[in-house]
Amino acid sequence: MLDVRTLSLLLQGAGVSLLLALGSIACATLLAMALCAMAFSRWTAVRAFYRLYIYIVRGTPLLVLALLVFYALPALDLKTGPYVAGLLVLTLYVGALFAEVFRGGVLAIPRPQWESARSLGLPPGAMVRKIIAPMVVRYALPPYINVCVMTVKASSILSIISVWELTFAAREIIERTLAVFTVLGLAGAIYFVMCFGMDRVGRRVERRLLAKGFVGAPV
């Protein structure tokens, strides 16, 4: 039987997992915006850097990427600890996924929409902010939400670099109680609740944006 202390440890680990996921989503969103801008740069070298970054990060297993970052930081005299390393790992990986989501949103905008935006005579910054960005959100929001949900599950990889989160807490409890199926089943249920909750929140935000006219339904 699992006691209250065991459940409390799992919930504490879930809180750490959720905080890491939310923090990395925020940082990765900013990174992805910069990367997406590189994808459409007029300079070939900048576009090549974008493609290289996407190919390397997406082509590297997240487990390998976590170990590389965890051991590379001390080698560079950056003693950050496992939590900062874990946040950096998720940011780099999820940032690459978000960048492709944003790039797809830009490419999905019909050419007549671009021509109409240019015909208004707005400065480039204002055109992007007032016209292009809402249309990108229209197309990118659903896959963006899916990647956010995936980030919660991906945070379990960080247990390999000694980040004390839900999976790490479950392993500690299993070593003490030997209740493998019970503990893993409970941990899986907690992951499901977090992912389902994030998905519902994302869909709710999407509906509110649609209701307020911030974005339109995809055409």
Q: For residue range 165-193, what is the model confidence (pLDDT) as tens digits?
A: 999 999 999 998 888 999 999 999 999 99
Lowest pLDDT segment from 1-15, 88-102, 156-170, 202-216: 202-216
How confident is the model at residue 212, as a pLDDT? Answer: 66
Start-end of H helices in 120-179:
124-127, 133-154, 166-177
Quick: pLDDT tens for 35-87: 999 999 999 999 999 999 999 999 999 999 999 999 988 888 887 889 999 99
In CATH, what number is assigned to the domain containing residue 114? 1.10.3720.10
In a domain, 175, yes or no: no
pLDDT band at 1 (very low <50, low <70, confident <90, very high): low
Task: Answer yes or no: is 13 within a domain.
Answer: no
Q: What is the mean pLDDT of the chain?
A: 89
Q: Give me the pLDDT at residue 214, please.
A: 58
- Mean pLDDT of all residues in 82-94: 96
Q: What is the pLDDT of residue 68?
A: 93
Tokens of 74: 């001390």
Quick check: is 191 in a domain? no
Residue 108 falls inside a structural domain: yes
| pLDDT score at 2 | 67
Query: Total domain count for the chain?
Result: 1
Note whether residue 40 is domain-resident.
yes
What are the DSSP calls for 94-135, one per residue?
Answer: HHHHHHHHHHHHHHTS-HHHHHHHHHTT--HHHHIIIIIHHH
Structure confidence by residue, pLDDT tens digits, 134-171: 888 888 999 999 999 999 999 999 999 999 999 999 99
**Is 112 among the domain residues?**
yes
User: Structure tokens of 38?
Assistant: 């590189």
Q: What is the reported pLDDT for 108?
A: 86
Residue 195 lies in a domain: no
The average pLDDT across 104-131 equals 76
Is 107 a domain residue?
yes
Please give the residue range of the domain that contains residue 140. Answer: 19-165
Residue 93 Cα distances to 102, 103, 115, angstroms = 15, 16, 34
